């Protein structure tokens, strides 16, 4: 086994590899870009080397720097993870030339599978079934159009060098072929530096079923069963599971044998995935065709780990260090059912537009670390919930890399139990500060098609009515959550019950208190929520909504709650009860329930007063209060809008920002000082 390896990747996969290396007593070296200097993967490793740069081509793709880092730290091998350099044959070759072991297949195997067209030619010789199509070298448009006619519409034009779901065009009619071809070739040239395409029959309502293979350097190759990755958006995977629902043992063995044949045809070594497209036959069976081989570890490898009990990264390290595979095909069994959900920073309602920002709140469901099956003969129940993340609360999702934040992997004794655990785990995944697909994933997992295992690549499209633009948590519940949270916080600060406060909202035994909450939308809505205390001590909630400033009163509801600790509350509105979890980030109050969530903002008339108070270029206190933080030093140059001080007043924090650009000439107060309304906090001079 190696003493030390370099991990040429970032994020969750770099953390994942580091975890197994540590268990095996292998030291790890991280590499990082300027954007990742404080990243989780850097901390997960024993040593770290800066690559500089931000964008992938200036950092994680600079392989001469990565090789230099490996030499400088004395690493013996390089793990490429996935993405980046993992399927780059030149990099694999350069590693070997530098005397480093590339933890992956031989360069020739990467090359053989690198072109989808060339790989298909090879596979057809090896007797692996292919989708009817044309994958020759000649890309003459007239010839391709004739081939499309021969194959029969609809057809799919695919970039031979493509990947990541890009460079594909479905064509339904002959008259659209020429334009689609030209556009596909343009994208292929621009994205992959190679305009070559292939044409194949478009399989309607297909399933994506892939086989995990593993080969050692001693001629032994086995498969570890399949993963169904049919739930996709934009040809990219969303949910993955193993085993594939409804796949017979016979068909599994057949697909496994085809995958092993594919790997052996290219002299494969290490972990690889052979992707098949499968279509249902009229007699309820499936027919499958080779699609491509990914010559690396796959994002969704944890579902295979969960049902086999094996640690695939451990196997990668063992095989790369020359050990033979420790097990034979007949000892591989799939136990129970595992599902993975890819948590991405994106907005599903806006065409899955990627989102960036800071993970201000990041709460994972209860989970346990990944356990491997130490005894190859006996299956040990894996973690019911596993989280593979490369980020911590407070980390940023930058625009430089992909939008995957983490993966949630659940295991159950059967699919129903796995589904129930997935639903609960997604319910308890709370992310605030940027847009994510967590709620969307939960809806997909709960959709009739997914729960009924009616799987194919059109599932999301078919279920769109229940997946997109769904209402969040109703306002009354969200408001109740915000009120419970705010009063619990006040009570905690005063160490007393909220009703004994001396701030005047309790009047004549009956009382009311107003909460101003803003719901951000295309047009923000200002909700005025009134908490009423009746004579008999019961509480009422009254909602009013409208444009900022206006208020239309609604009917009162009886409100009760009790704190459950950890920002959770059991709340009752009239006769219904549910558990709400409330997280605060700045002015935002996110309320999560079992059925949905809603983010409201503290709409603070005082903060709006602050807008006016900074006029004239002076930074003044908008109300009497205490200075709790000063964010600039004397002599510092600041930009307009830059936060300079934080004040606390009326149990609320207010950040005061520079009214204009300038230099901080003098700080007039210190942290802890009480200031009066209108007091100038610091003197700002022209820059
Ligand atoms: P990539 O390299 O981008 O992963 P693939 O060849 O694996 O490209 O295809 C990605 C996805 O596109 C598949 O998972 C499947 O959903 C869809 N797809 C690929 N080939 C076909 C086909 N012939 N008919 C229908 N859908 C296809
Ligand atoms: P898989 O085929 O393993 O299921 P994908 O086909 O979606 O996964 O692609 C592999 C993964 O590699 C992506 O999900 C992404 O996280 C990562 N990846 C690919 N290219 C890049 C890149 N240029 N920069 C960062 N990450 C990348
Ligand atoms: Mg693929």
As given in the structure block, the two tokens for residue 25 are 């007593």
pLDDT of residue 614: 45
pLDDT of residue 616: 60
Residue 153 has pLDDT above 90, yes or no: yes
| All residues at 6 or more sequence positions from 288 whose CB lies less than 8 Å from its CB, including other chains | 129, 209, 251, 254, 255, 258, 276, 277, 278, 279
Residue 490 has pLDDT above 60, yes or no: yes
Long-range contacts of 620-623 (CB under 8 A, 24+ apart): 620/678, 620/679, 620/680, 620/681, 621/647, 621/656, 621/675, 621/676, 621/677, 621/678, 621/679, 621/681, 622/647, 622/654, 622/656, 622/677, 623/647, 623/649, 623/650, 623/654, 623/677
How far is 24 from 22, CA to CA, in rounded Å?
5
Q: Band of the pLDDT at 1, cuts 50, 70, 90?
A: very high
pLDDT of residue 656: 86
As given in the structure block, the two tokens for residue 241 are 């599971």
Q: Band of the pLDDT at 571, cuts 50, 70, 90?
A: very high
Which is nearest to 44 in space by CA: 21, 24, 25, 18? Answer: 18
Q: Tell me how far the alpha carbon of residue 155 lies from the centroid of ligand 3, in angstroms.
A: 17
- Mean local confidence (pLDDT), 151-175: 94
Stretch (H or E) spanning 666:
strand 662-667
Which is nearest to 76 in space by CA: 92, 95, 63? Answer: 95
How far is 510 from 500, CA to CA, in rounded Å?
13
Q: Band of the pLDDT at 508, cuts 50, 70, 90?
A: very low
Which ligand approaches the C-alpha of residue 209 most closely?
Answer: 1
CB contact at 8 A, 22 and 30: no
DSSP 3-state of 307 = helix
Q: Tell me how far the alpha carbon of residue 156 lies from the centroid of ligand 1, in angstroms.
A: 9
Q: Band of the pLDDT at 350, cuts 50, 70, 90?
A: confident
Q: What percent of the residues of the chain are helix, what percent strand, and what percent coil, each to the nearest 5?
A: 30, 35, 40
pLDDT of residue 650: 56
Residue whose CA lies nearest to ligand 1 atom number 22: 202
Q: State CA 311 to chain mean position distance.
A: 22
Q: Tell me how far the alpha carbon of residue 165 lies from the centroid of ligand 2, in angstroms.
A: 10
What pLDDT digit, counting tens, does each position of 381-425 carry?
A: 899 999 999 999 999 998 889 899 999 999 999 999 999 999 999
From 79, 83, 84, give the residue whose CB has the most ligand 2 atoms within 8 Å, as the site to mutate. Answer: 83
- For 367, other C-beta atoms within 10 Å of its C-beta total 19
Residue 597 has pLDDT above 90, yes or no: yes
Q: For residue 296, indicate whether it is catalytic.
A: yes
Q: Band of the pLDDT at 647, cuts 50, 70, 90?
A: confident
Residue 99, judged by CB atoms within 10 A of its CB (0-12, 13-18, 19+), counts as exposed
What is the distance in angstroms between the CA of the first residue and the CA of the last residue of the chain? 60
pLDDT of residue 371: 85
Cα dihedral 119, 120, 123, 125 sign: negative
How far is 200 from 211, CA to CA, in rounded Å?
21
Structural domains of the chain, with CATH:
4-103 (3.40.50.20), 132-201 (3.30.1490.20), 207-229+249-467 (3.30.470.20), 475-602 (3.30.700), 619-685 (2.40.50.100)
Phi, psi of 364 (to 5 degrees): -95, 155
pLDDT of residue 588: 94
pLDDT of residue 511: 80
CB contact at 8 A, 255 and 288: yes
Residue 119 has pLDDT above 90, yes or no: yes
pLDDT of residue 531: 92
- Mean local confidence (pLDDT), 121-136: 94
As given in the structure block, the two tokens for residue 135 are 């994958």
| All residues at 6 or more sequence positions from 113 whose CB lies less than 8 Å from its CB, including other chains | 119, 266, 292, 293, 294, 295
Residue 243 has pLDDT above 80, yes or no: yes
DSSP 3-state of 641 = coil
- Mean local confidence (pLDDT), 459-476: 96
Q: What is the CA radius of gyration of the chain?
A: 29
Residue 510 has pLDDT above 80, yes or no: no
| All residues at 6 or more sequence positions from 524 whose CB lies less than 8 Å from its CB, including other chains | 518, 548
pLDDT of residue 552: 54
Strands 77-79 and 101-102: parallel
Of 227, 296, 421, 533, the catalytic one is 296
pLDDT of residue 625: 77
Q: Enumerate residues lining ligand 1, CB below 6 A.
A: 131, 156, 162-165, 200, 202-203, 206, 208, 232, 235, 275, 277, 291-292, 457
What pLDDT digit, counting tens, does each position of 216-237 carry?
A: 999 999 999 999 999 999 889 9
As given in the structure block, the two tokens for residue 130 are 């292919």
Mean pLDDT, all residues of the chain? 91
Residue whose CA lies nearest to ligand 1 atom number 1: 163
Which is nearest to 439 in space by CA: 429, 454, 453? Answer: 429
pLDDT of residue 653: 67
More confident residue, 565 or 548: 565
Residue 497 has pLDDT above 80, yes or no: no
Residue whose CA lies nearest to ligand 2 atom number 14: 299
Q: Tell me how far the alpha carbon of residue 217 lies from the centroid of ligand 3, in angstroms.
A: 25
Q: State CA 467 to chain mean position distance.
A: 18
- Mean local confidence (pLDDT), 535-542: 87
Residues in the chain: 687
Which is nearest to 444 in space by CA: 622, 174, 200, 231? Answer: 231
User: Across the strands, what pairs with 213?
Assistant: 223, 272
pLDDT of residue 436: 96
Residue 252 has pLDDT above 80, yes or no: yes
Within the chain, how many helices (H) and strands (E) appear? Answer: 18, 39
Residue whose CA lies nearest to ligand 1 atom number 11: 235
Residue 509 has pLDDT above 90, yes or no: no
Q: Band of the pLDDT at 504, cuts 50, 70, 90?
A: very low
**In what side-by-side order are the strands of the sheet with 155-159?**
133-134, 197-201, 155-159, 168-171
Residue whose CA lies nearest to ligand 2 atom number 13: 83
How far is 338 from 359, CA to CA, in rounded Å?
27
- Mean local confidence (pLDDT), 432-441: 96
Q: Band of the pLDDT at 301, cuts 50, 70, 90?
A: very high
DSSP 3-state of 317 = helix
């Amino acid at each position: 086994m190696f003493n030390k390896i370099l991990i040429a990747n970032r994020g969750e996969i770099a953390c994942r590899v580091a975890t197994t290396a540590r268990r095996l007593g292998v030291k790890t070296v991280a590499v990082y870009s300027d954007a990742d200097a404080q990243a989780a993967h850097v901390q997960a490793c024993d040593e770290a080397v800066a690559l500089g740069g931000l964008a992938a081509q200036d950092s994680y793709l600079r392989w001469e720097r990565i090789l230099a880092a490996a030499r400088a730290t004395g690493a013996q091998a390089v793990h490429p993870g996935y993405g980046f350099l993992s399927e780059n044959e030149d990099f694999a070759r350069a590693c070997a030339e530098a005397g480093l072991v590339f933890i992956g297949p031989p360069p020739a195997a990467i090359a053989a599978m690198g072109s989808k067209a060339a790989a298909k030619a090879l596979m057809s010789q090896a007797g692996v079934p292919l989708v009817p199509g044309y994958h020759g070298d000649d890309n003459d448009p007239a010839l391709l159009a004739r081939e499309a006619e021969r194959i029969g519409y609809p057809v799919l034009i695919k970039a031979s060098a493509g990947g990541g779901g890009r460079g594909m065009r479905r064509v339904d009619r002959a008259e659209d072929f020429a334009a689609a071809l030209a556009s596909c070739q343009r994208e292929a040239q621009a994205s992959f530096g190679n305009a070559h395409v292939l044409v194949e029959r478009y399989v309607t309502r297909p399933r994506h079923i892939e086989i995990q293979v593993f080969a050692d350097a001693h001629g032994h190759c086995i498969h570890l069963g399949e993963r169904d990755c049919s739930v996709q958006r934009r040809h990219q995977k969303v949910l993955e599971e193993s085993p594939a629902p409804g796949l017979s043992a016979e068909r599994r063995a057949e697909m496994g044998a085809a995958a092993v044949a594919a790997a052996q045809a290219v002299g494969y070594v290490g972990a690889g995935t052979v992707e098949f497209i499968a279509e249902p036959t009229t007699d309820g069976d499936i027919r499958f065709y080779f699609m491509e081989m990914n010559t690396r570890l796959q994002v969704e490898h944890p579902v295979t780990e969960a049902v086999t009990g094996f640690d695939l990264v451990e196997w990668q390290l063992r095989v790369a260090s020359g050990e033979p595979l420790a097990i034979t095909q007949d000892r591989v069994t799939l136990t129970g059912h595992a599902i993975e959900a890819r948590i991405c920073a994106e907005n599903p309602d806006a065409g899955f537009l990627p989102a960036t920002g800071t993970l201000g709140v990041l709460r994972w469901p209860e989970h346990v670390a990944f356990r491997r099956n130490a005894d190859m003969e006996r299956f040990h129940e894996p973690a019911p919930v596993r989280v593979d993340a490369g980020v911590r609360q407070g980390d940023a999702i930058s625009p430089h890399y992909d939008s995957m934040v983490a993966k949630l992997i659940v295991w159950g004794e059967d699919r129903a139990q796995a589904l129930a655990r997935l639903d609960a785990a997604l319910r308890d995944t709370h992310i605030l500060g940027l847009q994510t697909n967590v709620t969307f994933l939960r809806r997909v997992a709960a959709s009739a098609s997914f729960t009924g295992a009616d799987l194919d690549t059109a599932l999301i499209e078919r279920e769109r009515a229940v997946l997109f633009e769904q209402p969040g948590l109703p306002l009354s519940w969200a408001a109740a959550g915000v009120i419970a949270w705010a009063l619990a916080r006040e009570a905690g600060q005063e160490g007393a019950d909220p009703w004994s406060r001396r701030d005047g909202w309790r009047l004549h035994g009956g009382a009311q208190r107003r909460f101003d909450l803003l719901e951000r939308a295309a047009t923000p809505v200002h909700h005025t929520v009134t908490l009423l205390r009746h004579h008999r001590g019961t509480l009422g909630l009254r909602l009013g909504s409208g444009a900022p400033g206006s208020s239309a009163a609604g009917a009162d509801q009886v409100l009760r709650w009790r704190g459950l600790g950890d920002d959770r509350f059991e709340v009752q509105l009239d006769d219904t009860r549910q558990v709400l979890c409330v997280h605060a980030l700045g002015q935002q109050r996110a309320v999560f329930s079992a059925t949905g969530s809603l983010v409201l903002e503290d709409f603070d008339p005082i903060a709006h007063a602050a807008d006016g108070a900074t006029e004239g270029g002076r930074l003044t206190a908008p109300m009497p209060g205490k200075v709790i933080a000063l964010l600039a030093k004397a002599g510092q140059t600041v930009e307009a809008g830059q936060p300079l001080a934080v004040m606390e007043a009326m149990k609320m924090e207010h950040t005061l920002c520079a009214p204009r650009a300038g230099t901080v000439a003098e700080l007039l107060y210190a942290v802890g000082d009480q200031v009066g309304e209108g007091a100038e906090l610091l003197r700002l001079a022209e820059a």
